[in-house]
């Protein structure tokens, strides 16, 4: 092989090897020593960016102890059905049990957001706040089983640090996120990762989620109810569940879901649930190719509930909803928001793509049945 060709080949191999190891890290030249050094910890992020977010936000993250006077699991995480299912926690009758979870303060007067499954069935709920001696007994201001959200209230006697809910609709796949919580009772544990996907439908012990954020930030028993933060320190999700069958797959409820129901939770009112009876996911590049779509747009139907308005209208699995009630649907989150904006009893025109053909259907919006969790 000519020397020039061999040199080019070696340069390509060296470049490829370097990319496989360090292409995700930006570098700068150390002119004093003539060597490359790591300029930043994360692409486009300073080395103290995560530490700065954590120091500002962690005082508003709390530990929640939910006490139940009944028989149940002997493990302190027994009250978390997600981890009882995934980890097979042992059962042993006891008179007083305590479930552990996380939460975060959303206002200076002591309102706290967490998962409904963290406090489900509890007779007493206690909250541990950084910087205060002893625990605060909390009142459940409101709870929503379907959305898996609960709002607690404590009286600390002084203003408390709090977190701000961000715009989860603007979150992009690949954005960096930070999870703070109390996994296995380890107070204020911090993990980092990225948003792996949006609009994930997940079912855990009969509770159906339609629009979760997926992240590879490590989430473990006790993280439930804690915040998933962006690099601005805003809460863009509430950590909810993991899939123990895989590495690096966790889920969070989008902050946009909370904003829609926060006032109802504060007042204790039960919100109506417009419903069509589908499980959906966003259309990514791979799904678009498989379904014969020109671009990754719309919400693909992953499942249809028997007897639901969607089934009665003729929707099928793998249909792609591209327009709903006159609005284009870009992803699963937009469809969920469009359904929630409807009135029960309203007839809605929908455009679906099925086998590369566009089909118009009309769906009658119904109230979500009580037996559908």
Q: Are 108 and 159 in contact (CB under 8 A)?
A: yes
DSSP string, 168-208: GGG--TT-EEEEEE-GGG-TTEEEEEEEEEEEEEEEETTEE
Please tell me the total number of residues recorded for the chain in this structure: 373
DSSP label of 275: E
109 is known as an active-site residue: no
Query: Angle at the Cα of 155 (from 151 to 157), degrees rounded to 5?
Result: 145
294 is known as an active-site residue: no
How many angstroms separate the CA atoms of 83 and 200, rounded?
19
20 is known as an active-site residue: no
How many angstroms separate the CA atoms of 36 and 28, rounded?
6
Q: Are 315 and 332 in contact (CB under 8 A)?
A: no
Q: Where are the alpha helices (DSSP H) in 244-316?
A: 255-267, 285-291, 309-312
- Pick from 21, 60, 276: nearest CA to 160: 60
Q: Which of 80, 144, 146, 148 is catalytic?
A: 148
Q: Are 84 and 224 in contact (CB under 8 A)?
A: no
Q: Are 112 and 151 in contact (CB under 8 A)?
A: yes
Q: Are 55 and 41 in contact (CB under 8 A)?
A: no
Q: Are 253 and 118 in contact (CB under 8 A)?
A: no
What b/e sequence results for 173-185 when a residue is b if at least 16 CB atoms lie within 10 Å of its CB, and e otherwise? eeebbbbbbbbee
Q: Which of 65, 224, 282, 308 is catalytic?
A: 224
Q: Which of 80, 117, 146, 168 is catalytic?
A: 117
Q: H helices then E strands: how many in the chain?
A: 8, 24
287 three-class SS: helix
The residues carrying an active-site annotation are: 117, 148, 224
């Amino acid at each position: 092989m000519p020397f020039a060709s061999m040199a080019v080949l070696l340069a390509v191999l060296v470049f490829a090897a370097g990319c496989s190891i360090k292409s995700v890290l930006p570098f700068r030249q150390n002119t004093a020593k003539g060597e490359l050094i790591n300029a930043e910890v994360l692409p486009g992020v300073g080395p103290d960016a995560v530490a700065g977010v954590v120091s500002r936000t962690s005082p508003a993250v709390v530990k929640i102890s939910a006490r139940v006077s009944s028989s149940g699991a002997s493990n302190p995480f027994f009250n978390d059905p997600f981890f009882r299912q995934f980890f097979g926690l042992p059962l042993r009758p006891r008179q007083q049990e305590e479930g552990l979870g996380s939460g975060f303060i959303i206002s200076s007067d002591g309102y706290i957001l967490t998962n409904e499954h963290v406090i489900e069935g509890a007779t007493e709920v206690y909250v541990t706040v950084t910087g205060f001696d002893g625990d605060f007994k909390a009142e459940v201001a409101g709870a929503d089983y379907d959305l898996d959200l609960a709002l607690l209230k404590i009286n600390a006697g002084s203003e408390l640090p709090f977190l701000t809910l961000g715009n989860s609709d603007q979150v992009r796949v690949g954005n960096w996120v930070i999870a703070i919580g109390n996994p296995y009772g380890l107070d204020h544990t911090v993990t980092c990762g990225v948003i792996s996907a949006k609009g994930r439908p997940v079912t855990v012990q009969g509770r159906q989620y339609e629009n979760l954020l997926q992240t590879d930030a490590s989430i473990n028993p006790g993280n439930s109810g804690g915040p998933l933060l962006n690099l601005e320190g805003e809460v863009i999700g509430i950590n909810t569940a993991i899939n123990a069958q895989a590495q690096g797959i966790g889920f969070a409820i989008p902050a946009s879901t909370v904003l829609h129901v926060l006032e109802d939770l504060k007042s204790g009112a039960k919100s109506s649930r417009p419903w069509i009876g589908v499980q959906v996911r966003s259309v990514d590049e791979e799904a678009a190719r498989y379904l014969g779509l020109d671009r990754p747009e719309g919400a693909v139907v992953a499942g249809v509930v028997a007897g639901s308005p969607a089934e009665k209208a003729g929707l099928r699995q793998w249909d792609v909803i591209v327009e709903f009630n006159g609005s284009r649907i870009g992803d699963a989150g937009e469809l969920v928001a469009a359904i929630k904006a409807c009135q029960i009893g309203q007839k809605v025109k929908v455009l679906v793509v099925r086998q590369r053909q566009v089909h118009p259907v009309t769906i009658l919006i119904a109230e979500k049945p009580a037996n559908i969790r």
